[in-house]
Chains A and B, each alone.
Chain A
């Protein structure tokens, strides 16, 4: 069976230890976490967690069941299996921007609709959001210009609403 990337959307009680339990489940059973994003929901007693992992169907089934088995876990949805979904990630990229490349960096920002959030005589720090593929593209194009530092958030995802009634 082939490995596939899965984005899981998990609602979990907002209690201390809940995140450790989830992370521990992955490390303890030898599953891998590609990325993990957590924040409070509208209901402050629940946290929402977007988790990207990979595996064949049997492994993903196990991961989902094991997550559901945790007492603190309220709901687990495999967004990847639920039809279309929106996926976003954000990155802050500090890129070298000296006399000869400054304009080039700005042009890139323009094309990708990035925002410059900090400027220094030799660098720009730019903010970029979008699906992972877009972030990857920006990073690849900026690399030759000299990236000094990157910080990425990891993926958040949400199911698309049905368009037709």
Chain B
């Protein structure tokens, strides 16, 4: 069997249904094999960054490993932003890159780059395959590493002569890597300690992060919260890990979190963090973060624990299994629900006061369309059933605040790296993995232009993705910072030239729609949602609208700017 045949065979055995990629000299052999393999669908993107984000969106929305395939040199370097994005958010991905023949490696050959060196800091692991016979074993290991433990992107660099060489195909059904043994089962004593803290606290908050969604722990979180009557807040990556419409939900916390979530966390005496890593956008000034709280931290990656905040009860393990164990302890003790309710009665009264004092709010009045109104309408019209991807910036934060995510894997957003240009290709990936669902990319006029070429990809695949552009003619989030902290010196944030997005959509053969007045919003969104092809909606929003509440960078989360 040739190396190229082995690669495709390995992909089949790993159950890969779709690959996002872009061919080139160093991967022609693999493409030749794909030509003969109709069972694997190949999506031809227009830029390799798009391939990486699409594979990422596919992975986030389906829970499977996303795969992308690109050529050597520039093909490989173009994926780096996509790889770093997936790495920061712990998304399982396998990136296959072509490489110059082994005997030319290190010679500065045509389209050569040391991609394993370049991606070492932003992959969970990477491989340079030196011999054809190693291919099946390495590919098996790559998928194994990508999807187990704390998931992440794994890159496999494939020299051309390795693809062309011949060897016996030997597929290892089981893989054991002596140096890689993630811990899934929590330490029982730590779980008992956690229970005891819950029993003795009076002002608890559950903090749900992206790890809860990755491990599929949402049912357990809900059961725990309801049984013990605990308030639940979520990080950006954790939205959907607990129903946003649930009466016990406090919504998102952190820099653009709700007033009541931030106040609850700041005044809590116990935080139960599930798969959250205490990012600086969540904690604000670390020294002032939840000063009275004991912290229980469940995470599969021991590195995350104790990294940013001091933790009282570390629980290393899979979030779902840890919560199952905690729930079984709770059932064993059999403390009646009434007592839990009584224990947190005063706390809930306080939270209700905060909720009433400063709810999430905006006013849709006058001729300007408020972006929050657009998101709320979108939520209403989709009944919260859509998969929503976002770009990065104000559009992302308004979406996080005003679209109530009830189910896991319905918000797909670049949390850790904050990658502009992520949302649209990610929506393409999500739609490929979920052909029956409505997939919407909520974009800004800045972000959408970073990977707008992928409109051709969506058209080619017949994907009915909806792109809602919240168009304010600004790089809005930077403008907001300049307004608040740089005395309105609007440096390089106003676009002097913007394309006519409706015409642009039409140029690609897509449907283009526009709304410039509040009363046009609903009909335009309705038309977009009813459309069965790629649709771009250009919504002209109030140009100087800001995202509030806001915690200035480096300040305590209680120091919120509210309007």
> What is the interface of chain A, defined by CB distance below 8 A to chain B?
12-13, 16-17, 20-21, 24, 28, 58, 61-62, 65-66, 68-69, 71-74
Contact = CB atoms under 8 A, between A and B. Distances in A.
B420 to A, nearest CB: 23
A23 to B, nearest CB: 10
Contacts of A69: 301-303
Given A73-B179, A74-B178, A24 B303 contact: no
A13 B121 CA distance: 18
B306 interface: yes
B295 to A, nearest CB: 15
B105 to A, nearest CB: 11
B183 to A, nearest CB: 11
B116 interface: yes
Given A71-B125, A74-B178, A17 B120 contact: yes
Given A20-B117, A24-B121, A66 B303 contact: yes
A58 B306 CA distance: 8
Closest 8 CB pairs of A and B: A71-B125, A74-B179, A65-B303, A28-B121, A71-B180, A69-B303, A65-B302, A24-B120
Q: Tell me the dominant secondary structure on chain B's binding face.
A: mixed
B199 to A, nearest CB: 29
29 contacts: A13-B178, A13-B179, A16-B128, A17-B116, A17-B120, A17-B128, A20-B117, A20-B120, A21-B120, A24-B120, A24-B121, A28-B121, A58-B306, A61-B306, A62-B303, A65-B302, A66-B303, A68-B302, A68-B303, A69-B301, A71-B124, A71-B125, A71-B145, A71-B177, A71-B179, A72-B125, A72-B179, A73-B179, A74-B178
B489 interface: no
Interface string B299-335: 0011100110000000000000000000000000000
Interface residues of B, number: 18
A132 to B, nearest CB: 30
Given A13-B178, A58-B306, A68-B302, 14 more contacts: A13-B179, A17-B116, A17-B126, A17-B128, A62-B306, A62-B307, A65-B302, A65-B303, A66-B303, A69-B301, A69-B302, A69-B303, A71-B145, A71-B179
Nearest to A61: B306
B294 to A, nearest CB: 18
B138 to A, nearest CB: 11
Contacts of A20: 117, 120
Nearest to B116: A17
Nearest to A12: B179
A14 B174 CA distance: 22
Contacts of A71: 124-125, 145, 177, 179-180
Contacts of B116: 17
Interface in B179-221: 179-180
B211 to A, nearest CB: 15
A66 B303 CA distance: 6
Nearest to B304: A65
Interface in B105-135: 116-117, 120-121, 124-126, 128
A14 B10 CA distance: 25
Contacts of A24: 120-121
A115 to B, nearest CB: 39
Most buried by A among B117, B124, B180: B180
Contacts of A13: 178-179
A17 B303 CA distance: 21
Contacts of B303: 62, 65-66, 68-69
Contacts of A21: 120
B158 to A, nearest CB: 16
Contacts of B307: 62
B191 to A, nearest CB: 21
Contacts of A58: 306
Contacts of A61: 306
B499 to A, nearest CB: 38
A13 B179 CA distance: 8
Contacts of A28: 121
A48 B142 CA distance: 25
A62 B145 CA distance: 22
Nearest to B154: A71
Contacts of A72: 125, 179
A10 to B, nearest CB: 11
B312 to A, nearest CB: 15
Contacts of A16: 128
Nearest to B301: A69
A72 B145 CA distance: 12
A22 to B, nearest CB: 10
